[in-house]
């Protein structure tokens, strides 16, 4: 006689739970849940920290199993679950690399922390100002540079709090570098099950983006509105991710700062495997098992990494061929490079430079020297620096902008960062140097010890607003900002980012067109 009332009570409870706003058994699925320092993610529950600004930071979140032991030189494996609440208030270790030390134009603020550095490095970080899990804020995923041989997310100028204060959820992802991230070998190819090896650092980036798709809603982010952003090797990574079939549907927009792979032929898998065999011989290792047993420090000191390759899995062909075939992922693009980021080696005299140009460019040498003159040593030095900038960075990003504008389906915005970064001492000579734009773009001037002027803080505020607007809607423009025109093949207008912002046709279009015809077409 008591059965019916009990069933009725259970039914009411089920209905109550189903329709009560905010109720959920799964913290990651509840889109109206108030965001606290404890968040459920793949693997378990994490806790973060909250700044006085109201921004919450979750640092050192594992997104894959530690790539050590038998997992060295394997695609990232699922994260190992943990029990209880995992504290995520400090950065995870940077990937294995040399100990950082300031050099050239890069002071300590542009480098990773001296410790920890470890092969166990697959961690990411999230900054968010969301109050609830269902806000669907735009997401920026930052990919660091370092020539694929160095770098990490704990670099001061990569801090995400300032961008989170402007309304995005900011994520930064570690990936393997050097020999740990880019090493191909016939045995690795055979065991992979995909007939591929070598691009482990790029596979780490894909794993990080998949983690974002699965978990970012819990931080108030929108998995359908993700922008990948990177500089230097990070920008090349962005370019490669746009080209890779493995990254399909993982993001909708791309910010590429000084780097792409349009005019470079990549190593084939077979070529990279031969390099790997030579490296193994140098390391006195005849088998893959011996290589995996070698201590990470010894491997770091004696080994040498390669670079992204056409492995047939992450990258099925050269980037230019993938784009030409219309097989690249369809994304809106913001890209550009800096005024003084040439990375010239030893500077040649005017006579030596002219001799080199004549040997390399033959009948086109006269035209070449119109764009990069060398009538005296000082002029030749300036030309060599500009040539290094254009071949290493400018031509890559310029070509990408042209290809995307030619296809005409998605918007393109191009910049030139021209602000001479304030400096003292030896740093004065570097101008608008390689990486110099990063603390401006992410509003992090406070982390860099330079004699900043009010104009620098104003430029940083404008640039970071452009970046946030682009991540939000695929267009950098917004109220109170100088108008940034989209890039077209007819106008080729770019935004010059300096103390005075100006939209104008690209100033060295003719030189870049000449280089493209001379180095690519021929």
Strands 412-417, 493-497: pairing is parallel
- Among residues 150, 341, 383, 465, the one annotated as catalytic is 341
The gap from C-alpha 4 to its chain's centroid, in whole angstroms, comes to 61
Pure H helices in 121-228: 161-165, 178-181, 186-191, 200-215
Question: DSSP labels for 39-79?
Answer: EEETTEEEE-EE-TTS-EEEEEEE-S----GGGTTSPPPPP
Confirm if 178 and 300 have CB atoms less than 8 A apart.
yes
Answer yes or no: 232 catalytic.
yes
- Cα distance between residue 42 and residue 82, in whole Å: 10
**Can the peptide bond before residue 116 be classed as cis, meaning omega within 30 degrees of 0?**
yes
Give the CA radius of gyration of the chain.
Answer: 25
Q: Is 352 a catalytic residue?
A: no
Is residue 358 among the annotated active site residues?
Answer: no
Give the β-pairing of 44-47 and 332-338: unpaired
Catalytic annotation, pick one of 339, 383, 434, 437: 434
Catalytic residue among 172, 217, 232, 237: 232
* Pairing of the two strands 412-417 and 38-41: unpaired
In this structure, what token pair is assigned to residue 190? Answer: 């055979």
Q: Are 311 and 182 in contact (CB under 8 A)?
A: no
Decide: helix, strand or coil at residue 335: strand
How many CA atoms are closer than 13 Å to the CA of 222, on its beta-carbon side?
Answer: 14
How far from 200 is each of 61, 213, 306, 494, CA to CA, in Å? 19, 20, 11, 35
Q: Are 372 and 342 in contact (CB under 8 A)?
A: no
Active site amino acids: 232, 341, 434
């Amino acid at each position: 006689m008591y059965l019916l009332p009990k069933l009725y009570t259970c039914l009411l409870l089920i209905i109550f739970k189903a329709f009560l706003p905010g109720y959920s058994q799964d913290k990651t699925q509840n889109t109206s849940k108030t965001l606290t320092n404890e968040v459920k993610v793949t693997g378990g529950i994490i806790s973060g920290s909250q700044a006085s600004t109201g921004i919450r930071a979750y640092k050192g979140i594992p997104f894959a199993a530690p790539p050590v032991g038998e997992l060295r030189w394997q695609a990232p494996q699922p994260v190992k679950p943990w029990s209880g609440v995992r504290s995520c208030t400090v950065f995870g270790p940077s990937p294995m690399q040399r100990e950082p030390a300031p050099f050239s134009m890069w002071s300590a603020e542009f480098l990773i922390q001296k410790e920890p550095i470890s092969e166990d490095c697959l961690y990411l970080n999230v900054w968010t100002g969301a109050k609830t899990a269902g806000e669907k804020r735009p997401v920026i995923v930052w990919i660091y540079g370092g020539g694929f041989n160095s770098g990490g997310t704990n670099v001061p100028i990569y801090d995400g709090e300032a961008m989170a204060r402007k309304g995005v959820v900011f994520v930064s992802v570690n990936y393997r570098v050097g020999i740990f991230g880019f090493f191909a070998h016939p045995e690795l190819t055979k065991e992979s099950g995909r007939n591929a090896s070598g691009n482990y650092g790029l596979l780490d980036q894909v794993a990080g983006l998949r983690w974002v798709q699965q978990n970012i809603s819990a931080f108030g982010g929108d998995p359908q509105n993700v922008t990948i952003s990177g500089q230097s090797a990070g920008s090349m990574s962005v370019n490669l991710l746009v080209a890779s079939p493995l990254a399909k549907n993982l993001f909708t927009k791309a910010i590429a700062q000084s780097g792409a792979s349009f005019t470079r032929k990549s190593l084939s898998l077979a070529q990279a495997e031969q390099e790997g065999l030579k490296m193994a011989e140098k390391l006195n290792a005849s088998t893959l098992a011996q290589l995996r047993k070698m201590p990470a420090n010894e491997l770091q000191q004696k080994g040498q990494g390669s670079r992204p390759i056409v492995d047939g899995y992450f990258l099925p062909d050269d980037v230019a061929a993938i784009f030409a075939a219309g097989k690249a992922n369809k994304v809106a693009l913001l890209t550009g490079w800096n005024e003084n980021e040439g990375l010239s080696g030893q500077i040649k005299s005017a006579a030596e430079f002219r001799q080199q140009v004549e040997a390399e460019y033959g009948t086109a040498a006269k035209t070449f020297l119109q764009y990069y003159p060398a009538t005296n040593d000082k002029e030749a030095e300036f030309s060599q620096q500009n040539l290094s900038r254009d071949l290493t960075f400018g031509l890559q990003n310029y070509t990408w902008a042209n290809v995307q504008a030619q296809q005409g389906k998605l918007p393109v915005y191009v910049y030139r960062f021209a602000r001479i970064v304030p400096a003292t001492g030896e740093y004065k000579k570097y101008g608008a140097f390689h990486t110099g734009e990063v603390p401006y773009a992410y509003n992090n001037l406070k982390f860099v010890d330079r004699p900043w002027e009010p104009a620098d803080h104003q430029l940083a505020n404008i640039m970071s607003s452009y970046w946030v607007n682009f991540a939000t809607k695929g267009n950098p423009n917004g109220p109170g900002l100088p108008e940034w025109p989209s890039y077209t093949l007819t106008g080729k207008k770019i935004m010059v980012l300096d103390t005075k912002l100006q939209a104008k046709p690209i100033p060295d279009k003719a030189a870049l067109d000449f280089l493209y015809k001379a180095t690519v077409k021929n």
